Structure 1
Amino acid sequence: MAKHQHFLGYDQINSLLFEPESDVDDNLEVADISDDEELYVAELEESVLEEDESAVDTKVEDDDDDEGPIASVFTTTTLPSALNSHALPPQEERSTKRRGELQPARGAPINRIEEDMVQGRDGTLWHKEPNPALPPMFTPRIEPGGPTSSVSSARRVVDIFSLFLDDEILQEIVVHSNVRLALLRSRYHHNGNADLRDIDVRELKGFIGILVMSAIRNDNHTTTKDMWDPMEGNPLYRCTMSEHRFALLMRVLRFDDSTTRAERWKDRLAPIRKVWDHVMANCRRLYSPGPHLTVDKQLVAFRGRCPFKMYIPNKPAKYGIKLVLTCDVDTHYMCNAIPYLGKDTVEVPRGLTLGEVFTMNPVAPFHRRGRTVTTDNFFTSIPLALALEREGVYLCGTLRQKPYVPKQISEKVLPIKDSVAVFNYEHNLTLQCQQVNRTKKVMLLNSLHHNPSEVEKRKTDIQMFYNLTKRAVDIFDQMWATSNCIRKTRRWPLCLFYGILNIVMVNSYILYTSMPFSKSMPRRTFLKDIVFDLCAPQV
């Protein structure tokens, strides 16, 4: 067969690119190819696609028979979406990623297993083909997250900050701290220079303002002597209170009634439980999350004595207090958090694991039909997916080797970056396994996508969704680290109070940027405005 290559002229290319989508010929999208014909398509370079340029490659071939040449045309462009129905235009794809969700675009099908049906060690059945009764993907119909009506009264930056740490809880801290101060006064009654007067709410706000300023200037690991140094320190520190007074407040700060703590011995968080619950309730009350949530771990650095101190080797701090955070994917707002107090302090229902309980509890206030939760392999399991599905919540997360994972998936040898999927009809679940390298595989359990396909560079729509929604807690952790006020201390309740201040600083800024009257403002400037309003009465 003789082959000839023809190219479209300049006018023909313009007519294809700028013709309205409704007038585009259906034959340009997929070419009809007979058995005796061959179609040659010029591949588009990835750089051209990334720069959002339109490219048109055509090949026309002749047949050797007597009927004359037969033309077959295949056209690919990135401007009219009708010419490429399997991929989103770059501009539309970028806006979709900002919303943290994927459109149900269809691509090349992924690998299938050889058997029609397989089962795990516990008897869970998995099918080769997707359930034809289910759509390829469920699309959430929940509005994006934003502030609630409780924030409408805030008009200044410091008002938003005060919605989390209000005067009620600050007064509670003042009362318990003054009890400790009274005890110290009985010890230092011979020292006339000791500044042991009682604290009030105004002075406590000034103390918090200094901690916030130390987070802005990265002075949290600087000694108080250097912070109050006339040459090196910030004048705001010296204007607000003396170095001795600041050190004294750090020493006497208390968050509960120590005389009744024995009655609450079962609660390991008793020394700061009331403050923690109050701030978390405000976090849930002030913000309504969007359709996608992320649950993940965070470590508050602490190396002192603590009955529930954890060691996590892959965290920068290694040792500390573990928190399980629930964050909104779109804004990274921390909606809820639960501290890990040890295995023996959590009541685990029969059939669930500890990781599943620590996913259900922080997500419980946000159960709403159509919402999705993304987790890592510490939390993800089939019982968790079923428990969330009963509340109308969908799950997507990486999965460890479990008894319900069939060996046909875990032991199947795939080319690197290739994926294979199986489907559970009973619970409407999809299990996908990708060969990351020669020895490592990553498994994803999903109740949202029911017919995965490759949509971008051998990545499936399940992987794309997971990559877009898994980062919310990590980004919140980065924002925490850039404005960290945690100082060196041997008292874990004080360390956790510093962590509460970090949460309030990040959440108040996210809340401010989500409000309609807010102006564009860097977070550093936002926190400075809070510091000046907190410290001004003390100056």
Structure 2
Amino acid sequence: MASEGSRPGRRMCNGMTDNEITEALDDSDIDFSDTNSDDDPAYLPPELMPLRNCGSSSSDDDERSDDTLLEAQVPSPAISENSLNIPVFVASRGRARSTNRRGRGRSFARGNIAIRSRSSPSLSLNNSAQLSDNWTAEKLEPEALDLIYPAYFHTEREDWEWHQFYDEYIDEEILSVIVNATNRTHILETGKSLGLTLKELKTYLGITMLMSALQYPQIDMYWSAKWRIPAIAKAMTRNRFYFIRKRLKCVYDPDVTTEQKVEKVWKVKPLFERILKGCHLQDRPKNLCIDEMIIPFTGRCPMRQYCPNKPNPVGLKVFVLASPQGVVCDMVIYQGDTTYPELKALGFGLGESSVLFLTRTLVPGHSLFFDRYFTSVKLCDELVRRGFHGTGTVMRNRIPRDCILKEERLFNKERRGSTEVKVREDEKLAITMWLDNKPVLMMSSCYCDDNHDECECWSKKERRYETVRRPEVIKMYNQNMGGVDLADRMLAVCPSRNRTKKWTIRVISHLFDLCVVNPWLQYRVEETKKQSLKKNIMQLRHYKLELGNKLIRDGDIDDDQTDDDITEDYEELEPKHKKRKVLVKLVPTLECRLNKAAHLPDFNVLKQHRCRRSSCDKKTTVFCKKCEIFLCFVPNRNCFTLFHEDDS
């Protein structure tokens, strides 16, 4: 039996033998290096569809494997290689081997082989042969979209106190919902009442804010004998703090229906919606940005995601609409397939659906900026249809096939700052390629390279700054895209991220942090408008400390008390036998002692206590109802009156 190399070739439909076709193949200009086994093996260009039946057949075509006969697709004499400007090849039995004329080596493939273009892996023919450049407009003519003014309800905040910005996001109504849900859930699980009150919840929130601003490595240290913080330790005991933190709830589970549980965030939905209500009240400039935010959490969670290149890559993904100044205006937590069911049914991807969903509270006329995770031609066209402009970086594989740009290896050889602009024929969409350290691709429905300027960029090769030509689309993108990143940086200054195994506790803490960052950004803007000195504007950490201290005081003060009536609480004294520590009431401040209101004597007939006046060491049963300390009150020893008249 003759070997495969010397075997007589079969006659094909055009009269050529296998050997003749192989020789023609060796002289051809085709390169199989881009062949991908994932392509459709039955694919042929439209010009070659009549040739599908020209190949020889085999009796076992239905049962062939990778090593079986590969049918050759050979053009007829009426269709020449030169007329179609495409390479012609044939696959023989077993492995197909080809060596091109330019000596680029050999390429082997198994199974059916599809014709491919060398310049673009996704095209079946050469661009110049099959596709025409439809992005040939000379100038971008964007849709004229005017922002309706005033577009939103503008609240006058000029005379607001620093703490009033916080009240836009958290009010007593949502705190009462949390208190009721927490108490009812605890009764359902244990049969006992937790006893949580609205004032105690405010105290708890104030303590968490102080903890996040002070950043002790362990929660127990705030109550330790050596490192204790009096503002925290006196407001609530450590065990009570842990007790509330562990059982904090936003909803009462039996009240939630099965339809409501389809949303995976139903456990925190009341708090999330109340904060969204505050976000929707904020002023929104014409230019807004959309990006991802991560709520860090590495425990078990049905919505946990991994996003590389983020400071905290593991956690809950949140799509955020923010102003360039970092104020969060809208957001949505990614929940998987249940996030945007209506938009996905219309054929939009996740990134496209996120942008369209976040525009639901906007009036037409805004310009939106986003990164390449969201950008596509379909999204930009849909935004224009809804009355918005879109601008963002774009992936090369999302550029339309009929938009022919320079090859990257050739574009890299040009001078830094070079640009290439392609405008669609309808003059409503432009793609700009700009050379920085590497090519940057931008897609926009309102900006291109019409109004360019110059910027200073660092040259790593020359080790100095150099002047680089910058298109308008790059300038506008850099100015307006960093709002979500700025909010992320502010949230990372003093976050409430103590260890927890419950994703609900982490989300609640993150949302309350957001209710501090957003008000602080607004407070800083208003103080800047008033031309306040920079040193008089509170920094974020100081702002959070003051807000936490105010919440603690609001939780401790009774309705009939004033700030002057507040006294220091308790101190720890070491007993003589050192068996246990005794809590003894501290001596009130001088201002509280000299305030004549509500200082009334009372009697404790059960036990005598040492008089707390510094110059007296007698025991007495009389104590002050306001100061809550014992003072002598007898005819020859009136320490009660003397204590409230001077500083003795």
Q: TM-score, normalised to structure 2's length?
A: 0.58
Report the AA paired with residue 171 of structure 1: S
Verify the 8 A CA contact 2:448 2:473 in the aligned structure 1: no
Number of aligned positions between the proteins? 403
Deviation at 1:505, TM superposition (A): 0.7
Tell me which of 335, 348, 352 is aligned to 1:352: 348
Once the two structures are superposed, the pairs formed by residues 365-384 of structure 1 within 5 Å of their partners are: 365-369=361-365, 371-384=366-379
Q: Which residue of 1 aligns with 2:186?
A: 181
- Cα distance between partner residues in 1 of 2:415 and 2:170: 51
1:168 aligns with 2:173: yes
**398 and 529 in structure 1: CA distance in 2 versus 1, 3 angstrom threshold:** same
Deviation at 1:241, TM superposition (A): 0.4
Q: Which residue of 2 aligns with 1:525?
A: 542
- Cα distance between partner residues in 2 of 1:151 and 1:314: 38
Tell me which of 441, 445, 448 is aligned to 2:446: 448
Tell me which of 149, 154, 159 is aligned to 2:155: 149
- Cα distance between partner residues in 1 of 2:539 and 2:444: 37
Verify the 8 A CA contact 2:135 2:403 in the aligned structure 1: no
Verify the 8 A CA contact 1:367 1:391 in the aligned structure 2: no
SS of residue in 2 equivalent to 1:477 = helix
Verify the 8 A CA contact 2:139 2:427 in the aligned structure 1: no
1:481 aligns with 2:492: yes
Q: Which residue of 2 aligns with 1:209?
A: 206
SS of residue in 2 equivalent to 1:448 = coil
Deviation at 1:326, TM superposition (A): 0.7
**332 and 298 in structure 1: CA distance in 2 versus 1, 3 angstrom threshold:** same
Once the two structures are superposed, the pairs formed by residues 59-74 of structure 1 within 5 Å of their partners are: none
Deviation at 1:262, TM superposition (A): 5.2
**1:159-200 Cα shifts (integer Å, max 9, x gaps):** 3212201111110000010023324654xx7xxxxxx64111
Q: Which residue of 2 aligns with 1:127?
A: 136
SS of residue in 2 equivalent to 1:525 = helix
1:298 aligns with 2:293: yes
Aligned-pair Cα RMSD in Å: 2.9
Verify the 8 A CA contact 1:512 1:518 in the aligned structure 2: no
Q: Which has the higher helix share?
A: 1
Verify the 8 A CA contact 1:431 1:443 in the aligned structure 2: yes
**379 and 495 in structure 1: CA distance in 2 versus 1, 3 angstrom threshold:** same
SS of residue in 1 equivalent to 2:312 = coil
**476 and 255 in structure 1: CA distance in 2 versus 1, 3 angstrom threshold:** same
- Cα distance between partner residues in 2 of 1:299 and 1:208: 22
**1:304-342 Cα shifts (integer Å, max 9, x gaps):** 11111001121122210000111111x221001110111
Deviation at 1:227, TM superposition (A): 2.0
Verify the 8 A CA contact 1:328 1:334 in the aligned structure 2: yes
Verify the 8 A CA contact 1:120 1:406 in the aligned structure 2: no
**522 and 128 in structure 1: CA distance in 2 versus 1, 3 angstrom threshold:** same
Q: Which residue of 1 aligns with 2:420?
A: 420
Deviation at 1:514, TM superposition (A): 3.3
Q: Which residue of 2 aligns with 1:504?
A: 515
Once the two structures are superposed, the pairs formed by residues 3-152 of structure 1 within 5 Å of their partners are: 125-127=134-136, 129-131=138-140, 134=141, 148-149=154-155
Q: Which residue of 2 aligns with 1:16?
A: none
Tell me which of 317, 327, 343 is aligned to 2:337: 343
Select between 288-297 and 121-130 the one with higher mean Cα deviation: 121-130
**1:122-165 Cα shifts (integer Å, max 9, x gaps):** 9883115225xx38x9797677999822758x843333212201
Q: Which residue of 2 aligns with 1:460?
A: 471
Report the AA paired with residue 332 of structure 1: G
Q: Which residue of 1 aligns with 2:627?
A: none
- Cα distance between partner residues in 2 of 1:435 and 1:406: 22
- Cα distance between partner residues in 1 of 2:303 and 2:309: 18
Structure 1 residue ranges (4+ consecutive) displaced by more than 4 angstroms after TM superposition: 118-124, 137-147, 516-519
- Cα distance between partner residues in 1 of 2:485 and 2:507: 19
SS of residue in 1 equivalent to 2:234 = helix
Verify the 8 A CA contact 2:145 2:387 in the aligned structure 1: no
SS of residue in 2 equivalent to 1:288 = coil
Verify the 8 A CA contact 1:119 1:404 in the aligned structure 2: no
Percent of pairs identical after alignment? 20
The structure with higher relative contact order (CA 8 Å, sep 6+) is 1
**234 and 312 in structure 1: CA distance in 2 versus 1, 3 angstrom threshold:** same
1:279 aligns with 2:275: yes
Structure 1: gaps spanning 5 or more residues: 1-117, 190-195
SS of residue in 1 equivalent to 2:317 = strand
- Cα distance between partner residues in 1 of 2:235 and 2:261: 38
1:389 aligns with 2:384: yes
1:514 aligns with 2:525: yes
Deviation at 1:462, TM superposition (A): 1.0
**125 and 350 in structure 1: CA distance in 2 versus 1, 3 angstrom threshold:** farther
- Cα distance between partner residues in 2 of 1:247 and 1:518: 43
Q: Which residue of 1 aligns with 2:72?
A: none
Deviation at 1:281, TM superposition (A): 1.4
Deviation at 1:410, TM superposition (A): 5.8
- Cα distance between partner residues in 2 of 1:501 and 1:443: 38
Deviation at 1:359, TM superposition (A): 0.7
Tell me which of 315, 318, 332 is aligned to 1:320: 315
Report the AA paired with residue 350 of structure 1: L
Q: TM-score, normalised to structure 1's length?
A: 0.69
Select between 351-360 and 169-178 the one with higher mean Cα deviation: 351-360
Verify the 8 A CA contact 1:298 1:322 in the aligned structure 2: yes
- Cα distance between partner residues in 1 of 2:134 and 2:519: 47
Q: Which residue of 2 aligns with 1:32?
A: none
1:251 aligns with 2:246: yes
**395 and 167 in structure 1: CA distance in 2 versus 1, 3 angstrom threshold:** same
Verify the 8 A CA contact 2:145 2:388 in the aligned structure 1: no
Verify the 8 A CA contact 1:293 1:372 in the aligned structure 2: yes
Q: Which residue of 1 aligns with 2:328?
A: 334
- Cα distance between partner residues in 2 of 1:361 and 1:481: 27
Select between 508-517 and 497-506 the one with higher mean Cα deviation: 508-517
SS of residue in 2 equivalent to 1:157 = coil
Report the AA paired with residue 207 of structure 1: Y
Deviation at 1:230, TM superposition (A): 3.2
Report the AA paired with residue 202 of structure 1: K
- Cα distance between partner residues in 1 of 2:315 and 2:130: 37
Verify the 8 A CA contact 1:295 1:325 in the aligned structure 2: yes
Deviation at 1:343, TM superposition (A): 2.9
Deviation at 1:444, TM superposition (A): 0.4
